[in-house]
């Protein structure tokens, strides 16, 4: 059966990591907070991002958090039956990690971090297993910023996949 889905002009949809039933789409930065911070700092006319989710197979479209000026979203994840969002609120100088329960439509805050927790937003993203906020810096260090703070030196040929235990 062919179903028409209205996305409000968001055309690129991606599978939501951690789920086989959800897709996500964003209107401009594709979840790159480094680019978003540059747009905000430069006073660009793109002053926020819009993030939507589409449930398969019913085609339900949801925008659990309408963005406001100066807020940009990173790539979301699906973890423990919830959609996990990283929101950079540049005017408030905060990074928010939010949990959205699609069943109850409840939003809860997992963490509110100061933007100053990291030098910049280069490669800043949520990762799974376990859920964490990481950044692989330009010096090729891996920084785990939340729920613990640790830094690991990495070789140029190394990359980070997941964390096992502590």
pTM score, whole prediction: 0.87
Asked whether the predicted pLDDT for residue 1 surpasses 90, the reply is no
Q: Give domain status of residue 148, yes or no.
A: no
Instruction: Give pLDDT tens digits for 58-75.
Output: 889 999 998 888 888 899
pLDDT the model gives residue 152: 85
Asked whether the predicted pLDDT for residue 94 surpasses 80, the reply is yes
Contact 109, 97 (CB under 8 A): yes
70 is in which domain, residue-wise? 13-117
Q: Give domain status of residue 124, yes or no.
A: no
Q: Give domain status of residue 139, yes or no.
A: no
Q: Give domain status of residue 100, yes or no.
A: yes
Instruction: Count CA within 13 A, CB hemisphere, residue 81.
Output: 5
Contact 41, 33 (CB under 8 A): no
Q: What are phi and psi of 7, to 5 degrees?
A: -110, 5
Residue range 121-126: mean pLDDT, rounded: 86
Asked whether the predicted pLDDT for residue 143 surpasses 80, the reply is yes
Q: Give domain status of residue 62, yes or no.
A: yes
pLDDT the model gives residue 51: 92
Q: Give domain status of residue 125, yes or no.
A: no
pLDDT the model gives residue 45: 67
Q: How many domains is the chain partitioned into structurally?
A: 1
Nearest alpha carbon to residue 164 among 132, 135, 123, 126: 132
Q: Give domain status of residue 71, yes or no.
A: yes
Nearest alpha carbon to residue 29 among 10, 53, 7: 10
Q: Give domain status of residue 127, yes or no.
A: no
């Amino acid at each position: 059966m062919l179903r028409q889905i209205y996305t409000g002009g968001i055309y690129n949809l991606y599978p939501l990591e951690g789920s086989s039933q959800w897709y996500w789409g964003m209107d401009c930065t594709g979840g790159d907070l480094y680019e978003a911070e540059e747009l905000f700092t430069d006073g660009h006319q793109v002053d926020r991002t819009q993030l939507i989710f589409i449930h398969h197979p019913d085609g339900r479209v949801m925008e659990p958090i309408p963005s406001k000026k100066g807020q940009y979203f990173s790539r979301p994840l699906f973890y423990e039956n919830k959609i996990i969002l990283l929101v950079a609120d540049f005017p408030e100088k905060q990074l928010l990690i939010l949990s959205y329960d699609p069943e109850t439509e409840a939003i809860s805050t997992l963490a509110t971090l100061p933007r100053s927790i990291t030098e910049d937003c280069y490669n800043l993203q949520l990762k799974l297993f376990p859920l964490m906020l990481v950044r692989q810096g330009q010096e090729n260090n891996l920084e785990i910023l939340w729920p613990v703070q640790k830094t690991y030196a990495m070789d140029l040929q190394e990359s980070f996949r997941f964390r096992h235990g502590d």
